[in-house]
Structure 1
Amino acid sequence: MQLPFWMQVIIALTIIDFFLFLVHWQSHKYQFLWKLHAIHHSSERLYFLNGEKRHALHQVIEGTPGIILCLVIGTPQPVVVVALAILAVNMFMQHTNLDYKAGILKKFFCVAELHRWHHRADYKDAQVNYGAWLTIWDRLFNTAYDSPKMQTELGAIGIAEEKNFPKNYWKQFLYPFNKKIRQNSKTILLIAAMLFINGIVFSQMYADAITGNWQLQDGSKKISVVKEDGKYVGKIYWVKDMSKNNEIGRRVLWNLEYDADDKEWKGGEIQLPDIGHSASCYIKLKDVNTAIVTGYHGMRLFGKTKTL
């Protein structure tokens, strides 16, 4: 049974939000991560675009773990996209300079009146309220802070210790990579290795998304797709019509290879028993539960499709 779309979005939001919180929290503890994250804190006033004012590398480090986990557990890509869009809107509202009160909602959601304190220029006081969407993570890790004085004693915004923080984009981009940081080669190598591994994981994870058990749309056959010697093959493992049991175990797809540029499996052949002859084929995923298989002779334009 597949969960409703809205429920999948909430689950994806929660997963991504947890890792955003975790990386954000650690970014206030480790020097290199803080140097990357400091760009977000450098603004001397809060406004809605400040929510997305980030170093590109830090954005990758923050967002990648949660997105990878969502994809690993089979979350459809549209669900992840919607979850990220909701988080982006929430970031705008969290950093807005509108004087709004969230009331009881601030017990559950990371709203502006909580997050503003996190942007205090006094670094020691700002080590609270790291959450991006839900307050539960701050509460669990004892980093939540809510007090009436937040409305009257906010004070200056920014980074008090950095009086001459660069204003130019490229200077901000290069800011984390000063001599002292570059000397910490282990940290740099660790970050680079993590990004490299993430790239490989993303690519391979999507390539293997075609593996598993699939059913023809008419319900007549079920096909198991596996990876053999770097290529993808499919065999019939169930038929609805018991008189066709002899088809079980028959190979119907073979020699498919994943093309990361086109996000499709191509270069293979298909031969369904009902057709009786083989044809070139390629497969595209409509979503994690639906594959579109196109068989063709000569030009792909004139191919015929089947849905799994």
Structure 2
Amino acid sequence: MIYNTAMADIAQFDYYIGIDIGGTRTRVGRFSKDCKLEEKEVIETIRYKKSPEFLLEEIAKKILGLKKPNSEFAIGISAPGPCDTKLGIVKNPPNLPGWGEVRVSEFFKNKFDTYVSLENDANAAAFAEYKIGSGKGYKNMVYFTLSTGIGGGIIINGKIYRGFMDSAGEFGHQIVLPNGPKCRCGSKGCLEAVSSGYAISRDAISKALVRKSGILYEIYKKNGTINASDVFLASSQGDDISWKILNKAITYMGIGISNVITVLSPECVVLGGGLTNQDYIIEEIRNFAATHVKMAPINKIKIVKSSLGDDSSLYGSVLNTVDSF
């Protein structure tokens, strides 16, 4: 039996299940009726990256472990874009190569016979920060996720702005370096292609293999790869190549974020994702925007770190579900 979503009533649900499908990790959480996170499970997405069906089955197992007996729950999902939120389809996400079009909402409706909603992960994170995080109190704000990839969400007058065909907020795919490195979306010179964790890792591996010496090369020989966190560590130890890689990435972050501020003039910009664990990055971005943004009131626009951290999209998946009624 398929759950009749048209008859759904928020009052009938005793709790919520949130699912945040990420390029590196997938989080599954049980939330109370008032949207407090009670319990969470984490899955390494990379183990299932080219097999969406296996990942969805693993998520379903986690939900079974989180379920409460004799009670009703709704499911909220956040996933990398592009997404068709009305039909519940994840559509060829660059950060999940090999996925194609996956009907995630239909899968969980069939499994659990309940109400399911889908939202782009960056939109979900933006909505969570607006409702309960660093963007609370600002009706017009934007959210950037600076992580393996780069994404964004836009809140206008307290609502997610999705744009035509749910395609708004793809901040990581604005062109900041024409004819620059090829992006996983197929274009060249996207912000994500020059500033993301993926780009930092790619550049570090390239430099290490050319030089065949130094801290980065030793990391590569030991691990067979170099992560963005390795580059930050090497830079802190005085490695000049690592510093140059990071300086370039942060400069382009500043350009991309300043562009969005100039176009939208939000009250607040919230920065989340793993790269913001380095506090100096946020300060560098503030300084860049203060210098280069001329046509928006930059001295009154707040640029702040996410207060929800890695769980922003997970919270957003549930808050968006509640808001959809």
TM-score range, shorter chain: under 0.3
**TM-score (normalizing by structure 1):** 0.23
Higher relative CO (CA 8 A, sep ≥ 6), structure 1 or 2? 2
**TM-score (normalizing by structure 2):** 0.22
Which of the two has higher C-alpha Rg?
A: 1
